[in-house]
Amino acid sequence: MRPNQIFAAMAPEKCEQILRKIGDESPEALKRTVVACAQVMKFRPQFLLKQPFPKRAASVRRALARSSANPLAEELLAVYFLKCRLPLLEEWLGLMGLEHEEGILTQDEVPCPAAGELEEKVAKFRAVDGDEDRELLLHVFASQAAIDWPALDALLDTKDAAAS
């Protein structure tokens, strides 16, 4: 699943929650995102910035769901986990034994663990608590251009198919 597809599948309420958290932690990043989304949708940025937050969030979600906005969607999801959910991100990276500095991978190549080991670690990560961002983080991690882990994609596809 690509970052824009994550936004397409995301509940509007979840997108609004993410945007509110980003706005609290990094208001400038939220403003840049809204302006970029306005351009994607061929709106005047001021028009979108003046909308009530729920309506603005819905427009941003629609813009980020477009395939042409994939890089923007990837950046926004990275900001969310690096600025708003860093402990959760660091928990995942630590569990996987991946070297990082404040959530940013330091390795050029990130080899995929064996399927059995990966399945065990994903199950352990999911089982910690009921935080819905755990599943979102797994999808975001798998969607990064630097990550080519077919075994993780298969695990996520299996879970998504079971949830449908």
pLDDT value of position 68: 94
pLDDT value of position 103: 92
Lowest mean pLDDT among 110-114, 115-119, 158-162: 158-162
Residues 6+ apart with CB under 8 A from 76: 3, 18, 22, 29, 33, 64
pLDDT value of position 110: 87
pLDDT value of position 146: 81
Lowest mean pLDDT among 4-8, 104-108, 120-124: 104-108
Q: How many CB atoms lie within 10 A of CB 92?
A: 22
Residue entry with tokens 């906005």: 69
Burial of 97 (0-12, 13-18, 19+ CB in 10 A): exposed
Structure tokens at 152: 């993780």
For residue range 61-97, what is the model confidence (pLDDT) as tens digits? Answer: 999 999 999 999 999 999 999 999 999 999 999 999 9
pLDDT at 162 over 80: no
For residue range 31-54, what is the model confidence (pLDDT) as tens digits? Answer: 999 999 999 999 999 999 999 999
